[in-house]
Amino acid sequence: MSGPVYERVALIGLGLIASSMFWAMKRGGLAGEVTGFAKSEGSRETARRIGLCDRVCDSAAEAVEGADLVVLCVPVGAMGAVAEEIAPALKSGATVTDVGSVKRHVIDVVAPHLPEGVHFVPAHPLAGTEHSGPESGFAELFDNRWSLLVPVEGSDPKAVARLRTLWEGMGANVDEMDADHHDLVLAVTSHAPHLIAYTMVGVADDLRRVTDSEVIKYSAAGFRDFTRIAASDPTMWRDVFLTNKDATLEILGRFTEELFALQRAIRTGDGEHLHQYFTRTRAIRRGIIEAGQDTAAPNFGRGGGSE
């Protein structure tokens, strides 16, 4: 590919995703200049110290000035206020995108603030670790992971295609999806599992007959992986559940029904039901490995703790 995809990119919020985007864009020569802004002065100082962004600004409006692409990397609950703040400073022809885990809510709160002549192409990279903050990012985060583009009514096909080129340049596989379907898919693959992980770790904390030191010392892969998920950013996840309420509650309702059925099978000694259920779920795990989204290596494919 010759030359950058965008001359100037502005990253609003400088956590794991934004910092990984910066390093991935630098790795691929995908952006001429990258500006950044974080609400916390400490995060801005850290970003300057580690060379995250070519220029770290002291306001979101300053960061987006003259930008061809603006990426909202703030918790979904803050998206609307940020969009309102930057709207007057956006240049005509710019594209605004985001990396939020919920799409319908983001579209509802961001789109009304964007001026005529600014393109809006919501997106969601399905990549992450339990770490957060400016120092948590790395260029390889998106390699062979999926990034979903969720064009809105009237999204300019050229703006969508250009954003796709950027994500592919950062190593991601790209798909398009409508907002409501995205929110349901993510409730199944991410949101409900996170809530279950938080609950399981909370149960262990409540179960005083098992001491804290035993929970820590004897954590086999199952509980250890729950704690990894449950260590994710609390503000981000609070906002996810409050803004993807309907889909998450629907999936949790289904989960509760399945759990009751398994409880009944255990209580009544129905080994056949359990065996059939576990056989079916095992096949899903095999499908994930075959799709290249994890490895069959021990420790759930996470050597070196990079994920």
Per-residue model confidence as pLDDT tens digits over 170-209: 999 999 999 999 999 999 999 999 999 989 888 877 776 6
Determine the pLDDT at residue 172. 97
- What integer pLDDT is reported at residue 208 of this predicted model? 65
Is 300's pLDDT higher than 60?
no
CATH top-level class for 6-177?
A: alpha beta
305 pLDDT more than 50? no
Residue 36 and residue 52: Cα distance in Å, rounded? 8
Q: Looking at residue 228, what is its pLDDT?
A: 83
Helix pair angle (245-268, 179-186), 10° resolution: 30
Closest CA to 134 of 29, 230, 67, 41: 41
The CATH fold of domain 181-268:
6-phosphogluconate dehydrogenase C-terminal fold (1.10.3660)
Beta bridge partners of 34: 9
Edge-first strand order for the sheet with 123-125 is 123-125, 146-149, 173-176
Cα 122 to its chain centre, rounded Å, is 13
Distance, in Å, from the CA atom of 239 to the CA atom of 39, rounded to the nearest integer, reads: 17
Separation in Å, CA 210 to CA 75, 222, 223: 35, 16, 13
pLDDT at 226: 85
pLDDT digits (tens, 9 = 90+) for 228-241: 888 888 899 999 99
Tell me which long-range contacts 158-167 makes (C-beta under 8 A, separation of at least 24): 159/95, 159/119, 159/121, 160/121, 162/5, 162/6, 162/95, 163/69, 163/95, 163/97, 163/121, 163/123, 165/1, 165/5, 166/5, 166/6, 166/25, 166/30, 166/69, 167/123, 167/125, 167/142
Alpha helices in the chain (DSSP H): 16-28, 41-50, 60-64, 79-86, 104-110, 157-169, 179-186, 192-206, 212-217, 221-230, 234-243, 245-268, 271-290
- Is it the case that residue 303 has pLDDT exceeding 70? no
Indicate the pLDDT class of residue 298, thresholds 50, 70 and 90: low
Q: Would you kindly state where each structural domain of the chain is located, as residue ranges?
A: 6-177, 181-268
Greatest Cα pair distance, the chain, in angstroms, is: 67
Mean pLDDT of 8-18: 97
The encoded tokens of residue 69 equal: 């692409």
| Ramachandran angles phi, psi of 151, nearest 5° | -60, 145
Cβ contact 159:121 at 8 Å: yes
pLDDT surpasses 90 at 296: no
d(Cα 225, Cα 220) in Å, to the nearest integer? 9
**Is the pLDDT at 304 greater than 60, yes or no?**
no
Confidence of residue 293 (pLDDT cuts 50, 70, 90): confident
Whole-angstrom Cα Rg for the chain: 21
- The CA distance from 147 to 21, in Å, is 12
Q: What is the pLDDT of residues 247-262, one digit of tens each?
A: 999 999 999 999 999 9
Q: Mean pLDDT throughout 96-120?
A: 97
Q: Which token pair is 89?
A: 């400073």
Q: Are 265 and 273 in contact (CB under 8 A)?
A: yes
Q: What is the DSSP string of 34-86?
A: EEEE-SSHHHHHHHHHHT-SSEE-SSHHHHHTT-SEEEE-S-GGGHHHHHHHH
